[in-house]
Amino acid sequence: MPRSRSSIVRVPAAPDPELVTRIAASTGLSAAEAARVIEDVVAFHAEPVEQYVRRRHAHLKTYGARNAEIFARIAQELPTRVVAAPELSERQLRRIVYG
């Protein structure tokens, strides 16, 4: 399935060296470990809205949640993301999951 331009996210090649130094110093991790953690966190928060909605829907469905509660919960979660997603209606959420 081709990706739309809006779903392509550019993640920096390497984390900011000052941030790596700070995280390493505050956690006791090596610089390489701190860099890997930073890269993981940045990648997690760079996840496109559509991918996040599909992933959360599948995760909540796995634990027996019903669509009505799943879509309500996702709608509440989206504005709390580091880069807040636009407000999406339940219909828009359904279209992301089911097409």
Length of the chain: 99
Looking at per-residue confidence, does 59 or 13 come out higher? 59
- Do residues 34 and 60 both lie within one domain? no
Q: What is the mean pLDDT of residues 53-80?
A: 96
- Residue 87: per-residue pLDDT: 86
Which of 45, 48, 70 lies closest to 59, judged by CA?
Answer: 70
- Do residues 38 and 53 both lie within one domain? no
pLDDT, tens digit, 9 for 90 and up, residues 1-37: 344 444 445 556 789 999 999 999 999 999 999 999 9
Band of the pLDDT at 47, cuts 50, 70, 90? confident
- Residue 45: per-residue pLDDT: 82
Q: What is the 3-state secondary structure (H, E, C) of 57-99?
A: HHHHHHCCCCHHHHHHHHHHHHHHCCCCCCCCCHHHHHHHHHC
Domain that holds residue 73: 49-98
Which of 42, 47, 69, 70 lies closest to 57, judged by CA?
Answer: 70
- Give the chain's domain count: 2
- Do residues 19 and 59 both lie within one domain? no
Tell the residue number behind the tokens 């990648």, with chain if given: 43
- Do residues 56 and 79 both lie within one domain? yes
